[in-house]
Every structure is written in C-alpha cells, then in structure tokens.
Amino acid sequence: MVNQHDLSEKKLRIWAKDHLAAIEPNQDIQIKRIEGGQSNPTFLITQDLFQCILRRKPIGDLLPSAHAIDREYRVIEALSQADFPVPQVYAYCQDPSIIGSEFYVMEFVDGRIFWDPRLPDLDASERFDIFDQMNLTISKLHQISPNSIGLGDYGRTGGYVQRQLERWSKQYMASQTEPIDAMHHLIEWLPKHIPSNDPTSIVHGDFRIDNMIFHPKQSQVLAVLDWELSTLGNPISDFAYHMMAWRFPPELFRGLHGINFEEQQIPDEQSYLDSYLKRTGFKLNSDQEWEFYIVFNMFRMAAILQGVAHRAIQGNAASQQAIEMGKKARPIAELAWLQVQKL
C-alpha cells in the first residue's frame, strides 16, 4: 500500500528556500494532514506564525485525466485577477523528487467550513444568508469571461455534457469493483437526452458547501477550494451539481431532501434555482431539461465515488473515509435512475 501522507520535511524546506520567501530554510516546519480532499492529499504547513496549504497529486497508479494539480493551480491564479474569492497561490512544483509527486502551495485562509448543508449549528436567520452568498458566488463565477483572465483555452466551447458523459462513463468502466445496474442504464439513457441549450463558462465541477471557506463571523465566502475538476463547460450543469443536495437525503450524501425549508430558513429548490437564473440571465427550456442536469450530475457523482472506491482498494485514496465514500456510488446511481423513471 502506498503511503500518501509522508512528506519529507527537510526536502520541503530546501525547496521552499527558492520558492517561499516566508519559510526559513534552517528552521523546522510542521506538517499536518487535513481531512477532506478525497482526491488530492492536502496538508497544513506551519512555521512559527506562517501557515500555508500544500496540495499534492496522489502517488501510485492513477486513472487517466484524474488529479489535475496543474489545472487547479492555473485556474486559482487566473480567478484571483477577477476578484473572485480564491486563495492566493504561491508556487507550483512539477519535480516529483521533492515529495514524490507534483504539488502546489497556496494561502491558508482562516474561516469556517460547513460539512453539513443543513447548517445545524447556525441560527435560522443566518442560514438564508449563507445560501444566498453561495448562490451569488457561483453566479459570479459563471459570468466571468474566460478570455478576460487568460482561460480562453482552458477547455472547449460547447459539447461539455457529451464530453463529460464520455469521460465519466470510461472512468466508471475503468474503476468498477462490482456491477451497478443503474450506472449501465444511465450510460445508455443520458446520451439520448442531452439538451440542445449549451452555454459555456468557467465551471468549478465540484461546487459544494464544504468546498468553501466562509468568513468567521459573516456569511461572506472568502475562498472557493478544490478546483481539480474545473474546465470550460455548461454553467447550468455546474449549478445542477451544486443543487444535488436538494435531492439527496441527509443520510446519503450531505443532503437537504426532506427538511422543512421554511422552518430552517433555507431556500427550497425552486427558489434557489430562480435566484441563480435571475442573477445570471440563463434560461431553461423546460422542467425536463433541469431534471436531465440533475440526473446527469448524480451519474457523474456516482462515477467519481466509484473512482474513490477503486483507489481505496489499491491503497491510493487520499482519505481514511475513502472506503465509506466509495460505497455511496451504488445508492446515488440508483437514485439517479429513479429520477429518470419519474419523468
């Protein structure tokens, strides 16, 4: 089994001498593994009062096109030019001899991370503001011109959903650990129902509440994290991924399905969608089009989690929770197929 968590403190200090001015090369640094980051192992680097975050590519045999550390670094650096909330990036290292794989270092952003979208520890009055800020943030992302920040070649224009279906179908087939009938049904159904409406913007690819850092005392989003799956793509699909939480029961995957939205002061699915469409000016041609994007993203999530399960078996997964996460691929795929049967 590959140990994903051992970093050479000495080699990092030597490398930092030429790349991180804030690190004193002759003084010890502390390295702490951060929970989360199923895909790319993440570490907190501390020396005296200075802190920063290191994200590395996993070591070992990896699936094709996965763990794009270089793309994460590029998009974060570019978005900072547009005054979009991302951490400041400090340096990128392609040399695997330093810690065993490629990595980059970025700012440590101090704030709140919410793992449960129900926000049980907050007052009801604050929950609405948190959700509104998330809605505002993803709306802003989807309105940034890729060309204006040097990301015009960050992906292809048009055909995003088709390419994603091809990618994640192949990834799923390459990472199967046991047959999931619902996944095979979705692989057959989805390509036949792709909407003709196909706008293009910068898409995050994994825009969830736990991939954001919020101000310690306010509802403001200070930083959006985990850009590995970002590209140029369909913004409505990206938003539908974010909104899968409204369809997931809490026990399945950090979901909101079944809660009392009015009582909890959390916007329901329709009102949250309406806010996004009003802010961005995007249009949906039908309710069925929205349902397609929800189903497509459930399929995509199931394929991603199947990859986590596959890496866990190989010993390459980044988190101790990887095996449990991988087990959710089947119920999410089955929920997606159930949505199709309701159409």
pLDDT for res 9:
76
Residue range(s) of every CATH 3.30.200.20 domain in the chain: 9-107
Per-residue pLDDT at 4? 44
Do residues 85 and 137 make contact, with C-beta atoms less than 8 angstroms apart?
yes
Give residue 14's pLDDT.
81
Distance (Å, rounded) from C-alpha 267 to C-alpha 273? Answer: 9
Strand 231-233 and strand 30-33: the pairing is unpaired
Which regions of the chain carry the CATH code 3.90.1200.10?
A: 124-342
State the alpha helices, DSSP H only, in the chain.
9-19, 69-79, 124-142, 160-175, 181-189, 235-242, 250-253, 261-264, 269-280, 287-314, 322-326, 329-342
Predicted local confidence at residue 36, as pLDDT: 62
Residue by residue, pLDDT tens for the chain (343 residues) are: 334 456 777 788 888 888 888 888 778 888 888 876 557 889 999 988 899 999 998 876 655 555 678 999 999 999 999 999 999 999 999 998 888 889 999 999 999 999 999 999 999 989 999 999 999 999 999 999 999 999 999 999 999 999 999 999 999 998 888 889 999 999 999 999 999 989 999 999 999 999 999 999 999 999 999 998 899 999 999 999 999 999 999 988 889 999 999 999 999 999 999 999 999 999 999 999 999 999 999 999 999 889 888 877 776 555 567 777 778 999 999 999 999 998 8
Q: CA–CA separation, 174 vs 185, rounded Å? A: 17
Which among 308, 88, 130, 330 is positioned nearest to 216, based on CA atoms? 130
pTM: 0.89
- The CATH code of the domain at 9-107 is 3.30.200.20
Answer yes or no: are the C-beta atoms of 304 and 153 closer than 8 Å: no
Which tokens belong to 316?
A: 């390459």
Residue 135: phi and psi, rounded to 5, are -60, -45
Beta carbons within 10 angstroms of residue 169's beta carbon:
20
DSSP helix/strand/coil, 202: strand
Tallying the residues shown for the chain, one arrives at: 343
Q: Which CATH superfamily is domain 124-342 in?
A: Aminoglycoside phosphotransferase (APH), C-terminal lobe (3.90.1200.10)
What letter does residue 112 receive in the DSSP assignment? B
CA distance 301 to 59: 23
